Structure 1
Amino acid sequence: MEWKGRRQSDNVEDRRGQARGPGGFGRDPLGRGMGFPRGGMRRASGGGIGTIILLVVVFFILKAMGIDLMQVLDQGGMPGGGTGTEQTETVAEGGTAASDEMTQFVRTVLAETEDTWSGIFKASGETYPPPTLVLFSGAVRSACGTASSASGPFYCPLDKKVYLDTDFFRELEQRFGASGDFAQAYVIAHEVGHHIQNLIGVLPKFNEARQRMSQDEANAMSVRVELQADCFAGVWGRFTEQKGILSAGDLEEALNAAQQIGDDTLQKRTQGYVVPESFNHGTSAQRMKWFKRGFDTGDINACDTFSNPV
């Protein structure tokens, strides 16, 4: 992908190096954050009795040190009155995070998604409000809850932000065997696809409906949501190709990434067998199919995963 020297988006918030604020890991219990799979089956969040005892001990230790944990929680910051934003600014000013090549790549890909979707929305007489992409390391707080990097990239519809720990790109290559810059671009475009779903009402309807669904029903509907985001990523890929900035093999990189992160492939890799009723992102074949459909057509109307067999 010939991305260097192209416009970079200003809609990037760099929180790498920022201390994590109080709060437990895991996105909100309604699952409103739409994430990129990192491998294995999802586990329910929550802590056991050992976790509770540990928290109580920590509470009284901090109390003895003169730190009122409840006051810290109310202020939404860390002991000492800071919120963590100071560290973010220091990283940016130092130039070690804000100017590195990965940041430039992310800003460029995000800018390309802005150009594509602005054009599509404009053709329908609409204005496209782009998402903000948050770079983080370790853990991050969002309007959908606090998540660790183990959650993988995700989109939070409550604050309209994409969250990305760029270490995921290294894992994508080393653990999943999906290398290449266009494979990485596909990850970003997929999460932006969830932003599109949020704007057109798909995510709000899904999150409202799944509260009345069984887990199996919610998983099946989640698959259709995720596959549509893959298709939207493919639509972006088509417009990017038309600009002449894709290189030979780029499409294959994206398709390989889609294959490597299919639910069936991930489950075979991590546990040796598959549990179809637990799929919530789609099989490798489905993910490749819907990305390719978006790429081949360049038409969002071809991405109706709810009325068509997946």
Structure 2
Amino acid sequence: MRWQDGRRSDNVEDRRGMRSAGGKKVGGGIGVIILALIAMYFGVDPAIVLDQGGAPGMSGGDSAVSAPRSPEEDVLAEFVSVVLADTEDVWNDLFRQMGREYREPRLVLFTDAVESACGYAQAAVGPFYCPSDQSVYIDLGFYRDLKLRHQAPGDFAQAYVIAHEVGHHVQKLLGILDKVNNLRRRVSEVEANQLLVRMELQADCMAGLWANHAHRERQVLEEGDIEEALNAASAIGDDRLQRQSRGYVSPDSFTHGTSAQRVEWFTRGARSGDLNQCDTFAAGRL
């Protein structure tokens, strides 16, 4: 991916080397649900997502810890800032075309654990979007797991992760996240999971849509980039992850979609560049 000359975003908050010092204030609603689902998705006990220590309802703030940053991680921090800026350019333009205003999300870099408006999360949950504060959170160590654990290397695979989480922010602005949350309260667990699959696949499609527009306007793609993103999408499909962690697949518990579905919907967005093509909720077949 050609990113070195790209604009850096002003919406990056760098909390690397900071750890929460006191009790953790845990938020409610879909934010906490999303954190727990992300944890289960990556084979993590959801109990570690929320810190149960400290006085209830108290927020202890952050304190510095001595954690030297490697030059490689600093380059990654610069990279995600450029990717975020590029998503800002694409979505600002698309929202203008829809006659709407795009509110740019914040991206928070952290080490090991972080407090968000959705709760106190450890890095093991992976990157996540918190709708309560409209922020994307990522411990850059996740990219090491993406490369080694999930066998999905490459800078565009890393960019796909950011673009997918920004897709959830777009869903928040369009009212989709809130609508899904309301629907989930009124249906069975299996039906609720099916709604989440459609939401996640739509975010994949939006990530592909971003790639389409970014390359069309700024020629950011290099040979092999799309293949890197497709490999990442395939590597973190529900069926593949469940087979690796459990040895079997349970479709009723899917929350993100199969590898084939994730590849299909990213590809649909990347080929069309059309937000209307990302309506997973109207699709008869995923």
Distance 1:95 1:210 in 2: 41
Q: How many residues are aligned here?
A: 281
Matches within 5 A, 1:199-238: 199-238=173-212
Give unmatched runs, 5+ long, in structure 1. Answer: 56-68, 78-82
| Matching residue's letter, 1:245 | V
Q: What CA deviation, in whole Å up to 9, does each residue of 1:165-187 have, x standing for no partner? A: 11111100000000000000000
Query: How has the CA–CA distance of structure 1 residues 24 and 175 changed in structure 2, closer, same or farther, with 3 Å as cutoff?
Result: farther
Over the residues paired in the alignment, what is the CA RMSD in angstroms?
Answer: 2.9
Q: Which has the higher contact order (CA 8 A, sep 6+)?
A: 1
Equivalent residues of 1:220, 1:279 under 8 A apart:
yes
Q: Return 228-237 or 240-249, whichever deviates more.
A: 240-249
Distance 1:46 1:19 in 2: 16
Query: How has the CA–CA distance of structure 1 residues 26 and 225 changed in structure 2, closer, same or farther, with 3 Å as cutoff?
Result: farther
| Matching residue's letter, 2:5 | G
Distance 1:156 1:75 in 2: 19
Aligned residue for 1:277, secondary structure, equals helix
* Structure 1 position 307 matched with structure 2 position 271: no
Distance 1:287 1:21 in 2: 38
Distance 1:40 1:105 in 2: 24
Equivalent residues of 1:37, 1:152 under 8 A apart:
yes
Paired position in structure 2 for 1:66: none
Distance 1:246 1:183 in 2: 12
* Structure 1 position 33 matched with structure 2 position 55: no
Distance 1:74 1:39 in 2: 27
Matches within 5 A, 1:142-157: 142-157=116-131
Distance 1:161 1:125 in 2: 23
Equivalent residues of 2:2, 2:221 under 8 A apart:
yes
Equivalent residues of 1:32, 1:156 under 8 A apart:
no
Paired position in structure 2 for 1:18: 18
Deviation at 1:304, TM superposition (A): 0.5
* Structure 1 position 282 matched with structure 2 position 252: no
Distance 1:179 1:131 in 2: 26
Deviation at 1:240, TM superposition (A): 1.7
Query: How has the CA–CA distance of structure 1 residues 120 and 281 changed in structure 2, closer, same or farther, with 3 Å as cutoff?
Result: same
Distance 2:25 2:151 in 1: 27
Paired position in structure 1 for 2:47: 45
Paired position in structure 1 for 2:171: 197
Distance 1:197 1:253 in 2: 24
From 258, 262, 267, the counterpart of 2:237: 262
Paired position in structure 1 for 2:8: 8
From 120, 125, 138, the counterpart of 2:94: 120
Aligned residue for 2:13, secondary structure, equals strand
Distance 2:100 2:12 in 1: 23
Give unmatched runs, 5+ long, in structure 2. Answer: none
Distance 2:25 2:234 in 1: 28
Query: How has the CA–CA distance of structure 1 residues 252 and 142 changed in structure 2, closer, same or farther, with 3 Å as cutoff?
Result: same
Aligned residue for 1:223, secondary structure, equals helix
Distance 1:276 1:75 in 2: 39
Which of the pair has more CA radius of gyration?
1
Query: How has the CA–CA distance of structure 1 residues 42 and 280 changed in structure 2, closer, same or farther, with 3 Å as cutoff?
Result: farther
* Structure 1 position 179 matched with structure 2 position 153: yes
Query: How has the CA–CA distance of structure 1 residues 202 and 95 changed in structure 2, closer, same or farther, with 3 Å as cutoff?
Result: same
Runs of 4 or more, structure 1, over 3 Å off, are 21-47, 94-97
Aligned residue for 2:9, secondary structure, equals coil
Equivalent residues of 1:32, 1:207 under 8 A apart:
no
Paired position in structure 2 for 1:60: none
Deviation at 1:253, TM superposition (A): 0.2
Q: TM-score, normalised to structure 2's length? A: 0.89
Distance 2:171 2:13 in 1: 22
* Structure 1 position 76 matched with structure 2 position 59: yes
Equivalent residues of 2:42, 2:126 under 8 A apart:
no
Query: How has the CA–CA distance of structure 1 residues 46 and 164 changed in structure 2, closer, same or farther, with 3 Å as cutoff?
Result: closer
Deviation at 1:33, TM superposition (A): 3.3
Query: How has the CA–CA distance of structure 1 residues 219 and 247 changed in structure 2, closer, same or farther, with 3 Å as cutoff?
Result: same
| Matching residue's letter, 2:206 | F
Distance 1:189 1:38 in 2: 21
Query: How has the CA–CA distance of structure 1 residues 41 and 173 changed in structure 2, closer, same or farther, with 3 Å as cutoff?
Result: closer
Q: TM-score, normalised to structure 1's length? A: 0.82
Distance 1:288 1:37 in 2: 22
Identity over aligned pairs, percent = 48
Distance 2:187 2:43 in 1: 19
Equivalent residues of 2:152, 2:235 under 8 A apart:
yes
Paired position in structure 2 for 1:63: none
